[in-house]
Structures are given as structure tokens and as C-alpha cells.
Amino acid sequence: MRRSGAQIVWEMLRHEGVDVVFGMPGGGIMPTYHPRQDYGIRHVLIRHEQAAAHAADGYARASGRVGVAMATSGPGATNLTTGIATAMMDSIPIVCITGQVGTSVIGSDAFQEADITGITLPITKHNYLVTDVDDLAETIHEAFYVAATGRPGPVLIDLPKDVQIAETEFSPPDHEVSLPGYRPNYEIDQASIEHAASLIRASQRPVILAGHGVVSAKAAEELRTIAEAAEIPVATTLLGKGGFPDRHPLSLGMMGMHGAAAANHAIQEADLLVALGMRFDDRVTGCLKRYAPDAVRIHVDLDPAEIGKNVAVDVGIVGDVGAVLRQLIPNVIADAHPLWLERISVWRSDAEERELLAHSVCNRLTAPHVIDEIWRQTGGEALVVADVGQNQMWAAQYFPSDGTRAFITSGGLGTMGFALPAAIGAQIAVPDAEVWVIAGDGGFQMNIQELATVVQEGLPLRIAVLNNGFLGMVRQWQEFFFDHRYESTRLSSPDFVRVAEAYGIAGHHASTAEESPDAISQARSSGSAALIEFHIVGEGEEGNVYPMVPAGAALHEMLRRPIAVGGKPRRADG
């Protein structure tokens, strides 16, 4: 078959099983867009290229498949970079295809030229500049392989205009990819498995730390099997949420800066940590010098570079989390840790007491109330896509999730504006799911234009905008650590309901706890997209996320929700 470069792009996307592409056409990629309709691949026209990358990211997280974004040269390509970096930090497999000026003028500062392969070198797993149409099919085949294998990540293909137009003989590659410089190692060291099992059997205060690798590896069942067999409590990272059921008796909830008090205390007092597919990043560990001082550490990760990178470990196992757990299970005997679980229960009870007191005296609408009500009405079955900031932490804390791909957010990069476009991708990936966007008034405005995409694609997204009139997390830091000097954090915002209605989306307001259940019910019953603007508490005790580990503090030195009404936050050990 003789095909142009543009046709080869779509032939290969179809060959790789792609059913949807998120993007926006422009001069540099126009030849590739031209034959798209001949190939039966859906194209979602977004309104900003950053949103295309986020939508491809959300699609990948919700489906477990590779997401695809497409953009033109120059500003189109550079607009992708924040979304590419977001995917890189969170190990999400996406392939981005960008147009480029013709090969004869590359380097001449031609109109809409940008060195996108140079720009994205630090934020892609790999990238390509294709200068010969004969290399294109193999390049696309390699790109999908690299994105999805080993530690997943984003791959970019830059496609000059003349390569898109040029023709060549085409046949889809029918061989496995073999790259001398890229050979993921899936062999698991048996001695390390046996050593880890012996440490688990000997421990009295064990804790499993479940990261995003558990979700990526589809290893939730194996994790549950080993946790229940050895009676080991499980704490999750933000991106590991859903890898272990939040409502399971052994679940400690989320760990880290805004993690559950019981999880943080348990980590600090543990004699063994079993870290699965997580990076020991700074938001998880707190002060490294005082992190889990008495714990022996086992670290399982697909990426050998992560073993010992941030935290020294006693046993490092390189491998797929699911495969490692399957080998560990026969070596771990049934065990019980009643004294350890009893101690954890005391920490849980203290946290519950604080929550009950706080919500019994607050007569204003709070974010926890909103998220809890969404959870109650959906039965916890919704797929939640959270933005970044206070709303992200509240969503993680107050929406218990038992599904492995039911909570999506930007973790490593912390990208405001992520939620709405990522939810577009997630809704397309799982069209029968009830998808909720949880966003703040600041982050929501960063990609608010994608409401048009929601309407054009007929997506039944439910959008909860938690409007507290601030850049909330920054304001909280200013309150705690910068003498209440609220510099550049007060926000004036439009009436989000009227904005939604201008786009053709039903809108609802809620300003009290009494109004919110009905607003949520109406949004859910509409059968189409709906937005609710919740006017929530913006300052003071109920405007903050608790617990909070201050920068430089150890995990157990959390600022806790005050027990006394009107009291000041205090450290957990204070």
C-alpha cells in the first residue's frame, strides 16, 4: 500500500488500537488532519492544547490504555508541555503528535517553529523528530511501546510538514519492538523475595505503603490478599488511592502532608514499611531525617532508579508490583497484630472525635460536607477527577473509593486546571461512569474554556466548583506560616452558574448545608452536563485542610484540627 505520512499516522493509530485523539488542528499539522475521517478514529476538538494533553492523560488513567493528543507546530506544541510534564511526573502513558515546519527550514526561525523535541527532552520518557517518511510507521510503533512498557510515561513525535505530505510504501509493523537502549527488566530476584518475606514474618508493627504502581499494575487484588493474610494495615499515596479499598478495616487512608493522622502516626511508629510502587516523595515523607526512624524498609518498584533515591531501604526489589506480590504471597504466613491494630484504633478515634465536633458546631457550608454528600448520593460509585489545592485534598479525604481507577488527579506536578479536561478524557474512556469534577474557583478558571468541549461532545459531566473566594491552599499557608498576610490570594470570580449556562450547561447554586443535597440531586438527575457552584467557607478553622504537616516537620508533627471551638491548630504531639 502506498500511503502519505498523514495516512500512515492514522493507519498506525488504528493499528495500535487507538479509538480517540484529543487535539486542535493548525497549519503545521493540517496535512495529518486531512485524512482522519477515513479511518473511523474519533477526534475530540479541545479549546486549548494544554487541555488536549490533560484529556489524553485522563483517558489513559481511566482506561489503562495509551492516550493520544495532537497539536500543531510552535505555540500549539508548546501549549502541550504542561500536560506532558504532568503525565511524566505521574507515570502516565500518552503519545503526543505535533506538527513541525518543513525539514528544509528547521532551525531558521520559520513561522510557528519551535524546537519541541528539545523543549520536552526533560519531560518526556522519549521523543522523536521524524525526518524521513520511511521511518514513520516504525517510530509510531516504538512510541506506543515505550509509553506503555516499563515505567509508563509520555512520548512525543514531532512531524515536519513535508514528511506528512511525502508518500511511501506502507505495511504495519508485525514484529515486537527491540530497542538496544531500552530493555525493561521483568526478572525478579528470588533472594530478595525470600528476604522480604522473612522481614514481614518477623515484624510486629508493619505498614504497607501503596502507591500509584499498585493501580498501574492492576495489583489491587494481590495487595488485598497479602494485607489480609498477614493482617498488615495499608496506607496509600494520593495517586495510590483506590489501590486498596478505603473502607477496608485495614485501610489507614492517605498518608503524607494532608494524610490521615492514623496513617502518619503508624508510619512513624512502624517497625517495617513495605513500599509498593511509590516514590517516597517529599509530600509523603515529611522530614527525611526523622522519617519512620525505627522501620526496616522494603521497596518494590518497576523503575530501578527509584530504589534508594530518596529513602535508604533494606531490601529493594525491581519489578512489576503485581508480579512481586504474586511471588510474595506463598511466602507470607497468616499472622495477627492485635496490639498494633488497637493502637491504630486509638489514633482513628481521636481523628473521628475532632471531625464530629468540628462539623457539629459549624453552621456554614464546608467542603467536607459537599464531598460527603456527593459520596452519599452516588453511593461512592462515582469516578472523581480532582483539581489541585485544598479541593484535591478534601476530595481525597472525604470521598472513600474502592475502585482502582475511580480517583484521578495531578499528583507530582500539582497542575491547577487539570480536572476539567482530564474528566473529559475519563468520561470518554468510561462513558457509562458517573464522572464528577471537583475543582476550586482558582483552578477551574484555568481551563474553563473546556466547558465548550463538554457541550460539543455531549458529555454528562457533573462539575462541583468549591468557591471559597481564595487560592485556598496558598491562603492556608499564608495563614499558618506568613502571619495571615493574604498576598495575591483573594479571588474575584464570575458567577460560574451563569458562565455554565452561557455554554449551554445547567447550573445550580448552593450556599448552605440545607441547599447542597437538592443541588446535587438535580445535577445528577439531569442526564446531561451540570455545574454546581458551592459557596463554601473561605477562612478560619473550617476553611483549612487538616491534618497538615508543616514543611520541615516529621510526619507525626501534624497541625491538627482544633478540639476546642475557636482553638488554634496545634501539633499532634503538642
Q: Which residues participate in catalysis according to the annotation?
A: 49, 111-112, 161, 473
Strand pairing report for 570-571 and 559-560: antiparallel
Least Cα distance to 19 among 80, 52, 66, 61 occurs for 66
Instruction: Please give the C-alpha separations between residue 161 and each of 72, 102, 106, 119, in angstroms, as whole numbers.
Output: 10, 5, 11, 19
Instruction: Please give the C-alpha separations between residue 352 and each of 103, 236, 270, 355, 402, in angstroms, as whole numbers.
Output: 63, 19, 22, 5, 20
**Separation CA 71–CA 94 (nearest Å):** 14
Q: What is the residue whose three cell numbers read 499515596?
A: 237
**Separation CA 193–CA 187 (nearest Å):** 12
Q: Residue 493, exposed/middle/buried by CB under 10 A (0-12, 13-18, 19+)?
A: middle
**Separation CA 285–CA 291 (nearest Å):** 6
The separation between CA 6 and the C-alpha centre of its own chain, rounded to angstroms, equals: 32
CB 72 within 8 A of CB 79: no
* Four-residue CA torsion sign, 191, 197, 201, 203: positive
Q: What are phi and psi of 234, to 5 degrees?
A: -125, 125
Q: What is the residue whose three cell numbers read 459557596?
A: 535
For 175-187, give one letter per residue: b (16+ CB within 10 A) or e: eeeeeeeeeeeee
Count of residues in the chain: 574
Contacts of 574 (CB under 8 A, 6+ apart): none
**Separation CA 313–CA 194 (nearest Å):** 16
Angle at 96 between CA 92 and CA 102, to 5 degrees: 160
Q: Which three three-digit cell numbers place residue 195?
A: 528476604
Task: Quickly list DSSP for 474-489.
Answer: HHHHHHHHSTT---S-
Instruction: Please give the C-alpha separations between residue 71 and each of 44, 74, 100, 334, 413, in angstroms, as whole numbers.
Output: 12, 9, 10, 54, 22
Least Cα distance to 61 among 85, 91, 89, 31 occurs for 91
Q: Residue 362, exposed/middle/buried by CB under 10 A (0-12, 13-18, 19+)?
A: middle
**Separation CA 127–CA 118 (nearest Å):** 9
**Separation CA 510–CA 533 (nearest Å):** 6
Q: Residue 33, exposed/middle/buried by CB under 10 A (0-12, 13-18, 19+)?
A: buried
Angular region, 107: left φ>0, alpha ψ -120 to 50, beta rest: left
